[in-house]
Chains A and B, each alone.
Chain A
């Protein structure tokens, strides 16, 4: 019993390592096991995690080599493994997300105007840059009506990250 548990734990660990390495390698341009620190967010997100910006900063502080701008796999791997095994930055459940949008949609219209969303995204929380905002609007707004039908968007983005 114990043995099979250990085995599955080992396999699980090795799987996690493989996943982390594969994601890391995608951005390891020089094939020297380092990535630019600016890509770390993307890597962590792509592994199914949903850290906040603050979380990311903390993580990077832990693994970056003395502000060199690079992160080595040697330090990333154990840190990231821990994150994955402990489910540190779990995904956001759909209903919670829907609730969040509904909070912002004060008039209960079922959609958000671009200006409304912009106001919240660029002034609250961990604000978007203007670029990020423009991209979000371009990506999420309905082409014809130019509003964000958030319910549809949530479903759409969950399944297929396609624009």
Chain B
């Protein structure tokens, strides 16, 4: 019983509870019905249309809520001012409880903040609703000032990375970042829509992408996809994901996302030559028109598709709202085309009935539209491709798709594009594999070290003859021996990897006498110990660790006693050393902070796995390449210091 409450209060409470629970259940039923409706819609074909008709008919007959439900789906959005919405979406009243173990964010968003977020998501943590709303709020504010079309140029010596559909596959996004490096001013990215639905980490992907957008607004470009649409989300999983993860604030989050989606830019153009858009084009596509449109007011593209199908279902024609919806402007249709269309081999332009929106466009339309806009290439996504990418229309249209194993494990590879100022696309393919991922996470020191060394030795072996020539230059008397200093210098000259070879020497060279290397012997040993290349398929392990060798090298540099872990003190000393040569001041606090943030299990030391993880997060291009580019002076200085 409660605190001394009377019988009448008890009865009253019981009654109200019963009443309210019924109300909530009716809502849930609605949600489920909506779900089922769109599930039915997905499949074209006469049989399904009849099924849909029957289902609708039955609903109308037997569920009075259904009538309201249907009219609710198609009702015009309430016209509220942004200020009122801002108040509604305000995160400030949401408290983060003491018990919350997920990441805490501070604003303005920083690179470290996004890294923290990625780390948390890798460990399957969930971001608190307060922070979610905060990030989304900032994103919304930013998106509102972006134009419909992003015009981007690729700087000299830079490459831009273009990714396709991700569909909630967090492992693919992390894989791309691992292989390609994190977004930054030196590493611009275009994400071509469909970040959500189907996969189970749609929100995590969005938060990461939005995080990077906030940190690097000039270098990260997001295009809207057809799945950035709250009605599509109802059916394809994103709505369910949010409501499942955020039972209390899910609706608010969804509402804010709805706004954000409507404000996502529609296209990106690179150097006025390459058009990137999620779906494609039609014979009506006119970028000048699209530039000027109020993109956030465009009616949900999916509704138009739904209407197409429902228009065959006569029971709906009696509703007033139906006519209102059909009277869409040409501009709305143009935008729907951008997000929903697919290329076809034949000439022409016909409505895309399978999708229920957009069109199928032919090579003649490609030529005409590209020429009219003085463009040379159209990059789009929207369709899953076996190899992650595919050309069509005389290589004037390129489909890029970044969600590997989209249909099921092993179904397809994902890919992304790297493109320099020459605007020639280069493809990197991959396939995320669950087993492999588990392996990497629990990688033992021995394994990493072995594979890293293997990779390095492979490199050395490949450059055998060049190395010998370089060594011989330091050995004019043909003694067969050179000093360590010369060995390091020659190796660097040949391999050009920017590695501190002197430090690596103990791992690579066994035969040294009195500070001299018997280089002929060493080369011979290389040949003997050169491991057989493991024959594996496109197994992620092999690829990852081949590329990983240099990273592991840095770790070993720091792990001077080869314990497999480094203490804070070792870490601190090494960084201090580096910083004094890198011409940048890294304060003790900064080093301590860095060390602590990498020490995930908080045991006061950093083991190799943690370090690897840290480097995966702390952008390779920001830290590693930076360090490597500075290693040359470091190497030189060390040589001089001997």
Contact = CB atoms under 8 A, between A and B. Distances in A.
Interface of A: 15, 18-19, 22-23, 26-27, 41-46, 49-53, 91-92, 96-97, 99-101, 103-104, 119-121, 123-128, 131-132, 134-136, 138, 143, 157, 160-163
A161 to B, nearest CB: 5
Contacts of B8: 103
Interface in B35-73: 36, 58-59, 62-63, 65, 68, 72
Contact of A124 (B5, B32, B72, B248): B5
Contact of B12 (A41, A52, A120): A120
With most chain A CB atoms within 10 A of its CB, the pick from B25, B32, B247 is B25
Given A18-B62, A131-B248, A100 B33 contact: no
Contacts of B29: 23, 26, 42-43, 45-46
B439 interface: no
A162 B68 contact: yes
Contacts of A124: 1-2, 5, 9-10, 13-14
Contacts of A121: 13, 16-17
Given A46-B26, A104-B12, A143-B88, A136 B20 contact: yes
B14 to A, nearest CB: 4
A125 B14 contact: yes
**What secondary structure prevails in chain B residues at the interface with A?**
helix
Contact of B248 (A18, A99, A134): A134
Contacts of B16: 97, 100-101, 104, 120-121
A16 to B, nearest CB: 10
B447 interface: no
B9 to A, nearest CB: 6
A45 B13 contact: no
B30 interface: yes
Contacts of A99: 12
B23 A126 contact: no
Given A22-B63, A46-B25, A135-B247, A92 B19 contact: yes
A50 B15 CA distance: 10
Nearest to B72: A162
B327 interface: no
B247 A131 contact: yes
B32 A125 contact: no
Nearest to A54: B14
Nearest to A131: B247
Contacts of B24: 132, 135
B15 A27 contact: no
Contacts of B26: 45-46, 161
Given A46-B28, A101-B16, A119-B2, 14 more contacts: A18-B58, A22-B63, A26-B36, A50-B18, A92-B19, A100-B13, A103-B11, A120-B13, A127-B17, A128-B17, A132-B21, A134-B248, A136-B20, A138-B248
Nearest to A99: B12
Contacts of A136: 20
A24 B546 CA distance: 54
Interface residues of B, number: 41
Nearest to A150: B16
11 contacts: A45-B21, A46-B26, A46-B29, A50-B19, A53-B17, A101-B12, A103-B12, A123-B2, A132-B24, A161-B26, A161-B65
A101 B16 CA distance: 8
Contact of B3 (A44, A123, A126, A132): A123
B27 interface: yes
Nearest to B75: A162
B13 to A, nearest CB: 4
Interface string B302-327: 00000000000000000000000000
Given A19-B62, A96-B15, A45 B25 contact: yes
A51 B14 contact: no
B251 interface: yes
Contacts of A92: 15, 18-19
Contacts of B12: 99-101, 103-104, 120
A120 B24 CA distance: 18
Interface in B201-260: 247-248, 251
B493 interface: no
A145 to B, nearest CB: 14
B444 interface: no
Q: Which 10 A-B pairs have the closest CB atoms?
A: A45-B25, A124-B13, A100-B12, A125-B14, A46-B29, A125-B13, A103-B12, A42-B25, A123-B2, A100-B15
Nearest to B62: A19
B14 A104 contact: no
Contacts of A97: 15-16, 19
Contacts of B68: 160-162
A91 to B, nearest CB: 8
B22 interface: yes
Contacts of A123: 2-3, 5
Contacts of A23: 29
Given A27-B32, A104-B9, A50 B22 contact: yes
A109 to B, nearest CB: 16
A148 to B, nearest CB: 10
B23 A41 contact: no
Contact of B28 (A42, A100, A128, A162): A42
A53 B22 CA distance: 11
A158 B362 CA distance: 53
A120 to B, nearest CB: 5
Nearest to B25: A45
A22 B33 CA distance: 10
Contacts of A126: 14, 17-18
A19 B29 CA distance: 13
A79 B29 CA distance: 20
Contacts of B5: 120, 123-124
A95 B21 CA distance: 18
Given A97-B16, A123-B2, A123-B3, A161 B36 contact: no
Contacts of B248: 131, 134-135, 138
Nearest to A162: B72
A31 B488 CA distance: 68
A26 B32 contact: yes
B574 to A, nearest CB: 49
Nearest to A96: B15
Contacts of B1: 124
B381 to A, nearest CB: 30
A27 B24 CA distance: 16
Contacts of A15: 62
Nearest to A25: B36
A96 B5 CA distance: 19
Contacts of A45: 21-22, 25-26, 29
A104 to B, nearest CB: 5
Nearest to A158: B23
B247 A161 contact: no
Contact of A51 (B18, B36, B88): B18
Interface string B562-575: 00000000000000
B93 to A, nearest CB: 10
Nearest to A123: B2
A21 B564 CA distance: 62
A57 B72 CA distance: 33
Nearest to B248: A134
